[in-house]
Amino acid sequence: MKKLLIISSSAAAIALGLSAPAVAQEDTGLYVQGGYSYVNIEPDGADSGIDTNAITGRVGYQFTPMFSLEADVTSGIDDGEFDYNVDEDDFDLDDNEDTDLNDVIAASGDLGLNYLVGLYGRASVPLTERLNVSARAGYAYIDVDASVITPGGTTLAVIEDSADGPALGAGLTYDLTDSWQLRGDYTYYDFEDTDTGAATIAVGYKF
């Protein structure tokens, strides 16, 4: 369902762009943004995901009033707890020997987000003089570490693992002034058998 919502939002933003009025050419150039992100990582088969708080930094370049290229990096500021109640007799950290991200969080313990980086193409469409809707698509890479504990309470190891995959997102941007912006967006990341989503609110500056 998340994928369908993001894809629908992206298609709507692009479709609106075909009929959107032209905006001033001065809406181009470099921009930077920074703010807070709420990240949820949910492996297939889990009843709930792992929540962690993070900070995000972003830099982009607006090539035209509609299209830009941007990159961001997100780093966790706390660890999320997980417990998926795997039976101790059946527990295997990597039962299919592929060391994928889903295996790292297959038991219980604490998960730390080391970093999440992505590169995106972004399309923006004005809704009003100050409010814009945008959609973006790109590719991202995540690196996490986990303190894994068996159901019996034995700490197995602190394990670091990573994954990469496509990403889709949508959001709104409000121009506070000619230079300062407030932006909120949601990005869905398709990492192997693990669904990851990040909701971000950031303040930005246009040069």
CATH class, 29-84+96-206 region:
mainly beta
Residue 150 confidence (pLDDT): 63
Residue-wise pLDDT for 165-203, tens only, equals: 999 999 999 999 999 999 999 999 998 778 899 999 999
The Cβ of residue 148 has, within 10 Å, a number of other Cβ atoms equal to 23
Token digits of residue 200: 């971000």
When the pLDDT of each residue in the chain is averaged and rounded to a whole number, the result is: 78
Look up residue 45 and give its DSSP letter. T
In this structure, of 25-34, 67-76, 136-145, 168-177, the range with the lowest mean pLDDT score is 25-34
Residue-wise pLDDT for 121-161, tens only, equals: 999 999 999 999 999 999 999 998 877 666 566 666 667 78
Residue 50 confidence (pLDDT): 82
Residue with tokens 């996490």: 144
With a CB cutoff of 8 Å and minimum separation 6, the contacts of 110 are: 79, 80, 81, 82, 146, 147
Residue scoring higher pLDDT (30 or 82):
30
C-alpha gyration radius of the chain: 19
Q: How far apart are CA 169 and CA 86, in angstroms?
A: 33
User: Are the beta carbons of 50 and 101 closer than 8 angstroms?
Assistant: no
Token digits of residue 194: 């693990």
User: Are the beta carbons of 28 and 50 closer than 8 angstroms?
Assistant: no
How far the first Cα of the chain sits from its last, in Å, is: 37
Judged on CB neighbours under 10 Å (0-12, 13-18, 19+), 131 is exposed
Residue-wise pLDDT for 84-128, tens only, equals: 544 333 334 344 445 455 554 455 667 788 999 999 999 999 999
Nearest C-alpha neighbor of 161 from the set 104, 84, 98: 104
Output the CA torsion sign for 116, 122, 127, 131: positive
- Residue 151: beta bridge partners? none
In this structure, of 15-19, 75-79, 134-138, the range with the lowest mean pLDDT score is 15-19
With a CB cutoff of 8 Å and minimum separation 6, the contacts of 199 are: 37, 38, 184, 185, 186
Q: How far apart are CA 151 and CA 155, in angstroms?
A: 10
